[in-house]
A and B are shown apart, each in its own frame.
Chain A
Amino acid sequence: MTLALALPAGRSRPRRARGVLGPVGWTALVLVAAMVLLAALAPWLAPYPVDQQDLLHPYAGPSPAHWLGTDATGRDILSRLLWGARTSLGGPALVVALSLAVGLPTGLLAAWRGGLVDAALARVLDVVFAVPGILIAVLAVAVFEPGLTPAVLALAVAYLPYVARTTRAAARAQRDLPYVEALELQGMGGLRICVRHILPNILGVVLAQVPVAFALALVDLASLSFLGLAVQAPAADWGVLISDTSALLQGHPEQAVYAGLAIVTTVVALTFLGDRLTEGRPVARARKEKR
């Protein structure tokens, strides 16, 4: 007689950080995803073209034809909000992507080389860090011309120190671990150790900062558009929608309120998401180590 025991197939894998998000984190993630989806699908979802005027029906209230009403020139506010989401979310995404693209290598270089290189990079980053992002953007716009591109580039520079510093701190902690020294002693080059071993081990920590950086960049860019320095008026950016003062003076704050709500919702969701990601991490680590 033989006794067969069923063994679970495959190796046991440590649980991913999924459980870390919690209900709050998940709600935030769904909200952010929904915003991104709405922005991406704006051309198909928006009931009207972004700049189609209807001068006979200015400041129309909510109706089946215009769910959120119309603005001073009879443009559909819902359509403008959806279209506006594209620059309002795309801009900060570019800012974060650019600052990651430059900040990750910079932070890794500083951590790997240490010494003079590290000190020099730290000083430069400190200087950039000390100047408010908005101010850098205002200067960039003054030198070039108002528009989304200079504003995005300027904010990317302003956000660079956040990414570079986080990366440097995390990579510095890995740098002196025996596994890195063992690879050095095996004759592996610094670039390969950084890219193949250190970067994957610190990426989670750095990427956990992304939602909050994204939220800050969103507010900064909207503020610049509000001031007329980034996205320009006929286009429908959330910042531009808020800055429509004629509507406000006429006693019609709806458009500004809707755009403001969109910004606040996204920023709050991103903040909670970032909070969950950064808070959850050490717990996940500790749990993993215990196994």
Chain B
Amino acid sequence: MLTVSGLRKEFPGPRGSGTVAVAGLDLHLDRGECLAIVGESGSGKSTTARMIAGLLAPTAGRVVLDGHDVSRPARRRRDRLHRARLLQMVFQDPYASLDPRQSPGDALAEVLALHGVRDRAERTARVRELGEAVGLSARQLESRPAELSGGQRQRVAIARALAPRPPVIVLDEAVSALDVSIQAQVVNLLADVRAATDTAYLFITHDLAVVRQVADRVLVMRAGDVVEQGPVAQVLDRPAAPYTQRLRAAVPPRSDGARPGAVPHQVERNTPPCESS
């Protein structure tokens, strides 16, 4: 579905002193799969996500989505829309992810219209459908973003990403800004959506506990390099690279004494339609 090869990004510095943010990265993502990219701040995981999404032009390397080379930003309208239907992204900051002047319903309707849902009634139906899929009530779809909580806004952002029915969604620290209980709800929502739509996730995070809940495979990055990759259970339980071991040890134990990186952290499934906050 998504194949990335030799992806590299250098940020030029003064007098030829450049910073290598990502030093040649290869990855592959199958339909319906969830690959997590973990690493500390500055490891290049967000830069990777932005290059794959097409928000940042790579210095070198190829990004192939569903057989189409999308390494360069799309210029023409047709290409842009085509690309939008292949890959969408959810951002970290729920407070800046929505146009403050637009209700979630209007925002979703606008995106649907952009992708060719011309008929008004059909659009309204699809908006309601998307709202249901992410657990937003009709009333919440009509309110202003300022009236919604962080978790609710992130649900809107997920609904927006789902609108063009892309096979791949990049989640760039999508649950990191939420507090723990809301985070669990959104993580469950993402799992439900994946099960229902067979969407592949590229899940960027620094939180190993979340990785264990959502991901099939994990890729550990450090200072622009891939340190280790493999199935979640293998990498998190028997890390080969010393860096992964240290990363795992750095996760503070929760109040119940469990180390979320090491011990599966049980959360309830079944996302409630709205959260109390």
Q: Which residues of A contact B (CB under 8 A)?
A: 11-14, 177-179, 181-189, 197, 200-201, 288-289, 291
Stretch at the interface among B85-93, B237-245, B255-263: B85-93
Complex CA gap A288/B146 in Å reads 7
Contact among A185, A201, A288 with B84 in the assembled complex (CB-CB below 8 Å): A185
Main secondary structure of the interface of A (DSSP, over half): helix
Determine how close the nearest CB of chain A comes to the CB of B276; give it in whole angstroms. Answer: 17
- Categorize the interface residue count of chain B: 35 or more
- In the complex with contacts A187-B77, A187-B84, A179-B98 CB distance below 8 A: yes
Question: Within 8 Å CB of A186, what residues of B?
Answer: 84, 88, 111, 114-115, 160, 163-164
Question: Within 8 Å CB of A291, what residues of B?
Answer: 146-147
Whether B77 lies near A201 (C-beta < 8 A) is no
Whether B83 lies near A187 (C-beta < 8 A) is yes
Q: Which 9 A-B pairs have the closest CB atoms?
A: A178-B91, A187-B84, A187-B80, A187-B81, A178-B97, A177-B96, A179-B99, A186-B84, A178-B96
Question: Within 8 Å CB of A179, what residues of B?
Answer: 96-99
Complex CA gap A267/B19 in Å reads 52
Whether B89 lies near A182 (C-beta < 8 A) is yes
20 contacts between A and B (CB under 8 A): A178-B92, A179-B99, A182-B97, A183-B99, A185-B53, A185-B54, A185-B55, A185-B84, A185-B88, A185-B89, A186-B160, A187-B74, A187-B80, A187-B82, A187-B84, A187-B114, A187-B115, A188-B114, A189-B77, A201-B100
Contact among B87, B101, B142, B146 with A200 in the assembled complex (CB-CB below 8 Å): B101
Complex CA gap A201/B82 in Å reads 28
Hey, what's the 0/1 contact readout for B120-150 against A, CB within 8 Å counting as 1?
0000000000000000000000111011000
Question: Within 8 Å CB of A14, what residues of B?
Answer: 144, 146
Whether A184 lies near B164 (C-beta < 8 A) is no
Q: Cβ of B157 < 8 Å from any Cβ of A?
A: yes
Complex CA gap A197/B98 in Å reads 10
- In the complex with contacts A11-B143, A14-B146, A184-B99 CB distance below 8 A: no
Whether A201 lies near B53 (C-beta < 8 A) is no
- In the complex with contacts A179-B99, A186-B160, A289-B114 CB distance below 8 A: no
Determine how close the nearest CB of chain A comes to the CB of B162; give it in whole angstroms. Answer: 12
